[in-house]
Structure 1
Amino acid sequence: MSSSDSLDPLSPPPTPQPSVAMIARQAIVNSQQAVIGYELFNRSRTGPGHTAATDVALVFSALSHAGTEDLVGKKLLFVNCTHESLAGGHLELIDPDKVVLEIPPLGHVATDEVGTRLPMLAVLRERGFHLAFNHTVLQSAYAAWLPLADYIKLDLSVLAPDQLAVLISYAGRHSQAELVAEKVETAQQYDMASSHGIALFQGYWFARPSLVQARLVTPSQTAILELISLVRKQASTDAIEEVLKKDAGLAFNLMRLINSSGFGMTREITSFRQAVMLMGLKKLFRWAALLLTLSRNGGPPPSVGSTAVVRGRLMELLALEIFDQELADEAFVAGIFSLLDTMLGMPMESALQLITVPEPVSAALLRREGPLGKLLLLAQACESSDDGAFDHAAHALGLSSSQINGAHLQALAWADQVED
């Protein structure tokens, strides 16, 4: 980093504002009014129309959201799609069992076009995605799609009662789909739909869409591009891990995504190496390409992120002097996430609920306890002009000034490499 990018040790680091995606969610409920899922709507769009890119942004924002409230939890996630977005590799990054893809009708119905789209829809369903269609799937032109329907949405704002009865009867005879009455706005509409046997409902009568500010931590484009380059070259796990360790935003995004309910992991992942190995090169490439697509800010990362990277490397180097490799790895994690509260604009305790870290890391970040807590106090002392704090922390760890200063210079040089 250049001298202009370094932090003034006498001044608090600037607080970066995480980018915000505006997402609305509306509950889908059963006959007991228990929520079975949420349909998400992207309210951040500024351009005209609905595009494949906005589908990608919506799914990714929901899964990587850095807020204290989980947008969907373990409920089903209903996502409006375009036919173009269905071919996107981003769908490989999520657990299909939790996702319902809402498939739009074609602009002009042609039997050959319905047939052309059929193989892609069949593959998505074979992979485990649930598929939802609106009532047009009950038209004869869409007969090939009907067996793939897990849900069929019936829009009460456009269907007359006699039409509704005919469609419900036809759906019951020719599909296994669950029916959803949508745009239910009155008790009369609910009673009518319920009397016909519909068991799932969505609309203002139950809940209006609620708006959520989904906060996102944007990594530097330099780090994303370096990651993409390494993955395309099929670089080693060590090389890929090095890039992740040099950008706090990149590290947070990966740990947040891979441990989200939407990713479908059966155990908690606590190290970057684990994440890289479990994700695999193909998914890593898809993920990095998606990050690049959604990244809004170019240039070097904010200085607070650079400070976190230096802390992580410094703590790792010092841990190698006095502890084993496992604790050194945890020391890096503690250092790079030590400014997570500043990056996300929330208390550290809340920030740590968004990702999974080993207990020694948590103890260090929350209470400065244990050997990692002592290392973190020392790293903080290296950034200030408090000689007393420096001497106390060094003595507690049995480290000399020359050891610490040498490691600090190495950490600064190492962190510089990603910004050159």
Structure 2
Amino acid sequence: MGKYIAARKPVLDKNQEVFAYEIVFKNVIKGKELTKTSNLFAEEISDDIEFFEKSNLADGKRIFIHFNAELLQSEVPQLLSKAKLGIEVSAALNFENQIKNNIKNLREMGSLLILNQSEAAPAENELYNYADIIKIDYKKASKAEHKSFIEKIKSQSPKGVKFLAQNIDEHHHFKEAKELGFDYFQGIFFTKADMISDSGTPGYKINYLNVLKELNKEDVDFDEVEKIIKNDISVTFSLLKTINSASYGYNVSSIKQASALLGVKGLKKWSLLYLISGLKDDKPNILFVNTLTRAKFAESLAEEFKAAEKSEDLFTMGIFSMMDAFLNRPMSKILEETALTEEIKEALLIREGVMGEILNLVIAFERVKWDQVALIEKKNQLDPKKLYNKYLEAVDFAYETMGILIKNQK
């Protein structure tokens, strides 16, 4: 790795499947997000981009990178896979001939051009002739303005330009933007509960919640856990199959035997992982990935915050931090029905205490809020590079674990 660290923002399609990841770089020294006005140098970030492209952070998807004029004229674009590259440029870019020719060449080799228009402004722009995707801040215009702009550009673009709405932070905005003609979406809406109405927990999820309640009691009764799980033969089979995964080398035939081999903590963790995967059927995969990443990242930060004894609770906190999105219910109601410690509940509801601070950091990293990350780093004297490595390890854990869980539920 070089001077910079980076995190990702998913770009979702209309089905909430990941189409691409936008890379957002952070200067370790200054702690600032690197944007089009930053003084980026090709030799300092080319290795980082290549690493990002090949890692789980890209997950085999396209990567969108914001290029300023300097980067567009550098060798960086030539180092990347054109079939996976999305070049994001500002609509205010000075479109000189050399830059124009570079963009043409990159597009001919398979790259996409994303024009960051910011607002749904009707002003003429030569870049419209080259753009594959026009990116607009959804909050900076009315629905009527968005609709008018999209219809105008589509009528003038024979090659079928697409539209990306950024800052989609609520489910109803996602639904509106789809109806207005947007094709891609960026924002945190998918991490939130979609509470059109609080109609209670669907029946098929009740068994999962009952196990979660039992597992989080102070004194876990594994006879009761086994009894609950046995109410659903498929759950019993799949959970034991997961525990017996070749990656872990166990050969157990009962929940009691699993608790003896794994210990209470080990069985609790794998049960939590398995059960949360059972709640994801009607949710996008990226929500599941983010949940696993949050849990592992939070757990790994225990020692950095001098709270090693809380690592298990931090993992549980990370899982539950997304439970409202999985169940479409208020977090407060979910916690009323679940036997979590008061410390975990305070962290989830009001972000209090050391666990609340860790959750703030994990979410800030997930949402690429570099200013918030830098403040927490400074306050707790954290090493940014070490923190970044833990984030990368958490992402790797998420994909590895998701693969195991999905495979063993088939």
TM-score (norm 1): 0.40
TM-score (norm 2): 0.41
Structure with bigger gyration radius: 1
Higher RCO by CA contacts (8 Å cutoff, separation 6 or greater) = 1
